[in-house]
Amino acid sequence: MDPLRRLTARQRYAFARQLRRQRTPAERHAWTLLRNRGVLGLKFRRQHVLHGFIVDFCCLHECIVIELEGDVHDSIERQGYDRARSEFLTAAGFRVIRVRNKDVTREHLEAVLRNVLRTHP
């Protein structure tokens, strides 16, 4: 299912560190907004290893995962992978939010997070 699943835990953490250094423009902007409890006072981690996956952003206290989606996520193959990954994380108790790269704004992130917190306390 996931090529990262074949890596050892140590390799996964090393890869997550590498991803933190090689951010996309959307990830860089989202982190500027989310860091230091910048949106709704929630503490997020970036490129966090979670149940063997590396997620873009994760708030462990509220069990929220934010995944940014660029054009690479438009392929049928990738959509199937993303869906399976979301289902796995949801079954593990996390609420997965998918945000298009072009929608990464403070207002959009706040609205989406407020909605998730309101509907899934």
d(C-alpha 72, C-alpha 50), whole Å: 21
Q: Dig out the tokens for 92 from the structure.
A: 């593990």
User: What number of residues does the chain have?
Assistant: 121
Output the tens digit of pLDDT for each of the chain's 121 residues.
565 667 777 877 787 778 878 888 999 999 999 999 999 999 999 999 898 888 999 999 999 999 999 866 667 777 888 898 899 999 999 999 999 999 999 999 999 999 999 987 6
Q: Out of 3.80.10.10, 3.40.960.10, 2.60.15.10, 3.90.1640.30, which CATH number does the structure's domain 3-119 have?
A: 3.40.960.10
Q: Dig out the tokens for 74 from the structure.
A: 């438009």
pLDDT at 13: 76
Q: Are 98 and 65 in contact (CB under 8 A)?
A: no
Is the pTM for the entire model greater than 0.85?
Answer: no
